[in-house]
Amino acid sequence: GNSVTQMEGPVTLSEEAFLTINCTYTATGYPSLFWYVQYPGEGLQLLLKATKADDKGSNKGFEATYRKETTSFHLEKGSVQVSDSAVYFCALSDRGGNQFYFGTGTSLTVIP
Amino acid sequence: DTGVSQDPRHKITKRGQNVTFRCDPISEHNRLYWYRQTLGQGPEFLTYFQNEAQLEKSRLLSDRFSAERPKGSFSTLEIQRTEQGDSAMYLCASSLETGGAEQYFGPGTRLTVT
């Protein structure tokens, strides 16, 4: 079946540090991959996505590349800010968008 | 359109009571999803609708849970004979009918069963 395994947190970084949050997946077929973010007190919102192998999603300085050979979709940012403090969820959907599977979330705290 | 809305935002109920939650999706979205999220976990898929048809149901959706989307617009999720284990955040999301389409989430309804 389909599943997502995400790096456990919490993660604490200093401002301007490099961020990597690991995400690997198990899926049949060719899923679409997503990173969602949940800021404190807010709902889930899409951060970036990739719909096929070797695609790179990017937004707000965050990037993730769809790696079929390693079944991974790691989230990276070169220089984090305090405002990036949030919980990050990796997710996949089957090709038809019939079901979504989320990881358990990784809490990130960025300190000044 | 202001996005996906859910009502109520919080619900406290006694064990054994029935509760109903409402979700209003983004108007042009024909897909609507329900999820359950407990503390420290990611959202768990419960069910989804395409227009008014309920197309997928998770095994997490026991017989006490029922969802409807009668006119293909808003949806309701009812939990009968609530149990303490039902305490969670119930999330609704909507999307367009395309593969790889992103889901837009509502703020959630937090249910506490005492």
Transcribe B29-42 into DSSP letters. --EEEEEEE-TTS-
Tell me the nearest-neighbour CA distance from B32 into chain A, angstroms: 10
Please, which residues bridge with residue A35 across strands?
A: A48, A90
Residue count of chain B, please give it.
Answer: 114
Smallest Cβ–Cβ distance between A95 and the set B99, B106, B107 belongs to: B99
Going by pLDDT thresholds of 50, 70 and 90, the confidence category of residue A2 is confident
Residue B100 confidence class, pLDDT cut points 50, 70, 90: low
Instruction: Read off the pLDDT of each residue in B50-63 and give the average, rounded to a whole number.
Output: 85
Distance CA B97, CA B108 (A): 22
Q: Is the pLDDT of residue B101 over 80?
A: no
Q: Nearest CA to A9 among A92, A88, A90, A101?
A: A88
β-partners of residue B68 are B76
Kindly state the average pLDDT of the residues B76-100: 91
Inter-chain residue contact B102 with A49, CB threshold 8 Å: yes
Contact A54, A70 (CB under 8 A): no
Distance from the first to the final alpha carbon of chain B: 36
Task: Report which DSSP code applies to B70.
Answer: T
Amino acid B82: pLDDT: 97
Strands A106-111 and A11-14: parallel
Summarize the confidence of residues B59-88 as an average pLDDT: 92
In this structure, what token pair is assigned to residue A66?
A: 């769809």
* Cα–Cα dist A97/A33, whole Å: 11
- Gyration radius of chain B over CA positions: 13
In the prediction, which pLDDT does B56 show? Answer: 80
CB contact under 8 A, B105 and A43: yes
Query: How large is the average pLDDT for residues B54-59?
Result: 83
Region for residue A70 given its phi and psi (left: phi exceeds 0; alpha: psi -120 to 50; beta: otherwise): alpha
Between residues B82 and B72, the one the model is more confident about: B82
The region of weakest confidence among B22-26, B84-88, B103-107 is B103-107
> Residue B1: what pLDDT?
54
- Mean pLDDT within A17-28: 95
Q: What average pLDDT does the segment A66-90 reach?
A: 97
**CB-CB neighbors (< 8 A) of A36 in chain B:** 105
Report the range of poorest mean pLDDT among A43-47, B57-61, B78-82, B109-113. Answer: B57-61
DSSP A36-88: EEE-TTS--EEEEEE-STT-EEEETTEEEE-BTTTTB--EEESS--GGG-EEE
Instruction: Write the single-letter amino acid at A103.
Output: G
Beta bridge mates, B56? B48
- CB proximity A35 to B under 8 Å: no
